Amino acid sequence: MPTTSRAFAPRRATTRLAVPVVALLALLTGCSAVGVTGDGDTAPAASVDAIFPDDEIGPLVEALPQQTIKPLPSARLAEGLVPPTNRWFSGLVFGDDSMPVFPSPLSFQLTDGGFDLGLPRVTTAPKVIMGGHVAHIGVSVGADAAEVSAYDTASVTITHLADDVAVGETVIARGSPFVSFTALSAADVSTVTAFTPSSVDGAATAVIDGTTYGLVSDAELSSDGTGLALAEGETATWFALADGAELADFADAATHTVTGTTLDYTTSDTEVSTTIAYTTADGEPTIVAALPHQQAGLADSVACSSATYSTIYGDMTACTTDALTWSSPALEPSGALDLSALDDADRDRLAEQVTLDIAETETFADDTYFGGKSLYRAVNLLQIAEEVGADDAAATMRDRLVTTMSEWMDPDRCDERDLRCFVYDPEARGIVGLATSFGSEEFNDHHFHYGYFLYTAGVLAADDPELVESWAPVMNLLAADLATRGESTYFPEQRNFDSYGGHSWASGTSPFGDGNNQESSSEAVTAWNGLALWAAASDQGDLETEARWMLAAEATSAKAYWTDFPLDDPIMEGFEHTITSLVWGGKRDYATWFSAEPSAMLGILVLPMSPVADYLAGDPERIDANIADAAPDGFDVTFGDYLLMYSALSSPEAASRALEESRELHEDRIDDGNSRSYMLAWLMAHAAA
């Protein structure tokens, strides 16, 4: 769901780059990385260096109208870099004032002369778990400006400037307790806090608010403990010592300066694996803190200690390694409910209901969010109609869906209209659909919006090569907006997805003091399911591997931080609810952007209950507790339809009860992305399981 209130921006003049259109089949095929072993199981598939490289995607971009609906805010960004929207560090880049960012376990913020860093202290209230930025260590490097000069899957390099001349570079990274500044010319560095030489050779420390901070540098610390005179090429590194850690271990790791990160992933039938490698200046291992969702599946090669950091996500564990590798359970993509166990009476009831719902589906919305949802709703009706033998209704719906999708998929449509079409924004480097909604022109929520289109296309075109060929020039651009892999001129790499966090970020420019955020974790899961379905339909094996990896990772993190986290974790003491509906870099809220109703808090984390939503199952008692928190007086509430469907995951008996209750659910309680037919089909299938 959105991260801003709904607003439609004024249009700008549309221009087109005069570049010949390439063959429509340019992106329709891909070499699948999936093999079959001798026993019939699918062999693991691995990541590749490039998905949607320039030579393939460029001609499709250039064939689309070029238009900036709303310019991005001013940016602290080196020339030539693709604007990093939807990142954990976007607030550091965009806007007149730099915002705090949360690489975790540290927080970090640029200042007039350098930067601040600190280890947030977790405090808990009835509706929020807070861990906002703390400026415990203030560092001046003699700069008057700063810009992001490089970024990759988990690290950011910031160049500090004085009179437009680079004086040094700072590197921060996801999971790293270190912040390193390397002088590009002689630089006088000072800290507000005085550091005192310790018993560990080469390390100085300062204790602030119970946290021990360390400093290791090539240069000698001044007598008052606040100054360093760095020669060109020399480095100073600050860190927060983990609880239970040895200072000597961190001081040693601080000498192995992190310079960047790389990503690899694999998928199999049972699990996906993520590897983030941390490159250091001397090639030696560093210390990285593992999040709770990573700890459950850490590879044996990762050496972790008992030292921890308390964070808003739970305890992070300190590990000495050059690569953090962990696995998550696989989640099979799906575009249809399994109705094979339904008896004749249920099938007849569904056939009657789906015929009625299709007849009453007269229009599709025109903006990218509600338009995508209406297509998603309709293609699910089509699937049900075909499954239960409502052939006439199915034929009607298929014709209407193909017609409407073909309007959206017309590359030239935005030359003549400002609805149901897409343009390429050459300034922000991404695809924007018209009409915009919920700040999509600012790159908010693209995965939520485009996931519905990808799902619809993946289902409709699964066995129709002609539709694949017709829709690929635009549909692959939507996929590239979200899932480009490797260096690109046209799109950022994996725009929304945070490989370290295992989940997406929704805000485009993140103008918030608590970092970026994501509300609807379930719509993010739906997005990667849709991406996988389109990749399979269009025979793009490498894209399908990437989508399966993101699908499984997002589902795992959604449960770990949104719906199923341990309620007995010490950080939960004082928190009065069972879910956190809005997760930020620096806090976790029991709140939404659009409603204060308890049912909305859970509803936004389960909608649209797509065919892969069984990932939300697992602990029946937790499902019941979440429902009790969200709908204590019954399901006549906002998102009552989705809450009924979610309650069915508790047990077949719960599904049967929900099926009975659904008979009384008023039509106004059925969401615009849902239908009575789909709700009934979901409940019937789970009751029959």
Per DSSP, helices labelled H in 498-540 are: 521-537
Phi, psi angle pair for 328, to nearest 5°: -135, 150
- pLDDT reading at 39 higher than 50: no
- b/e string for 672-684 if b means 16 or more Cβ within 10 A? ebbbbbbbbbbbb
Q: In terms of C-beta density within 10 A (0-12 exposed, 13-18 middle, 19 or more buried), how is residue 455 classed?
A: buried
DSSP 39-77: TSPBPPEE--S-BS-HHHHHHHHHTSPB--SSPPPPB-B
Q: Pairing state of beta strands 271-280 and 323-329?
A: antiparallel
Structure confidence at residue 43 as a pLDDT band (50, 70, 90): confident
The closest of 564, 557, 540 to 274, measured between CA atoms, is 557
pLDDT score at 88: 98
- Model pLDDT for residues 539-582, shown as the tens digit of each residue: 999 999 999 999 999 999 999 999 999 999 999 999 999 999 99
The closest of 372, 377, 385 to 361, measured between CA atoms, is 377
| Greatest distance between any 2 Cα atoms in the chain | 86
Question: What is the number of helices (H) and of strands (E) in the chain?
Answer: 16, 29
pLDDT score at 5: 30
- Model pLDDT for residues 411-469, shown as the tens digit of each residue: 999 999 999 999 999 999 999 999 999 999 999 999 999 999 999 999 999 999 999 99
Q: In terms of C-beta density within 10 A (0-12 exposed, 13-18 middle, 19 or more buried), how is residue 626 classed?
A: buried
- Model pLDDT for residues 493-550, shown as the tens digit of each residue: 999 999 999 999 999 999 999 999 999 999 999 999 999 999 999 999 999 999 999 9
Angle at 372 between CA 366 and CA 377, to 5 degrees: 115
What domains are defined for the chain?
90-259 (2.70.98.30), 262-329 (no CATH)
pLDDT score at 42: 63
Distance CA 397, CA 386 (A): 10
- pLDDT reading at 116 higher than 80: yes
pLDDT score at 444: 98
The closest of 546, 550, 661, 559 to 619, measured between CA atoms, is 559
Token duo for residue 434: 């018209």
Structure confidence at residue 17 as a pLDDT band (50, 70, 90): very low
The closest of 156, 188, 187, 182 to 169, measured between CA atoms, is 182
pLDDT score at 13: 32
- pLDDT reading at 80 higher than 80: yes
Distance CA 381, CA 400 (A): 12
DSSP 122-155: PEEETTEEE------EEEE-S-SEEEEEEE-SSE
Token duo for residue 145: 């400006």
Strand stretches in 126-257, DSSP E: 128-130, 137-140, 145-151, 155-162, 165-173, 178-183, 187-191, 196-197, 203-208, 211-217, 227-230, 235-240
Beta-bridge partners for 292: none
pLDDT score at 123: 98
Token duo for residue 220: 């000698």
Beta-bridge partners for 310: 315
Instruction: Give the chain's mean pLDDT.
Output: 94
Token duo for residue 454: 């990808």
CB 672 within 8 A of CB 327: no
Distance CA 630, CA 644 (A): 11
Beta-bridge partners for 433: 422
Distance CA 679, CA 689 (A): 16
Q: In terms of C-beta density within 10 A (0-12 exposed, 13-18 middle, 19 or more buried), how is residue 469 classed?
A: middle
Tell me, letter by letter, the H, E, C secondary structure of 587-610. Answer: EEECCCCCCCCHHHHHHHHHCCCC
Task: For tokens 């296309």, name the residue.
Answer: 457
> What is the DSSP code (8-state) at residue 540?
B
Distance CA 33, CA 23 (A): 24
- pLDDT reading at 109 higher than 50: yes
CB 648 within 8 A of CB 683: yes
Edge-to-edge, what's the strand order for the sheet holding 137-140?
Answer: 107-110, 114-118, 137-140, 187-191, 227-230
Structure confidence at residue 41 as a pLDDT band (50, 70, 90): low
- Mean pLDDT over residues 399-415, rounded? 98
- pLDDT reading at 11 higher than 60: no
CB 103 within 8 A of CB 174: yes
Distance CA 454, CA 379 (A): 11
Distance CA 523, CA 460 (A): 20
- Model pLDDT for residues 207-264, shown as the tens digit of each residue: 999 999 999 999 999 999 999 999 999 999 999 999 999 999 999 999 999 999 999 9
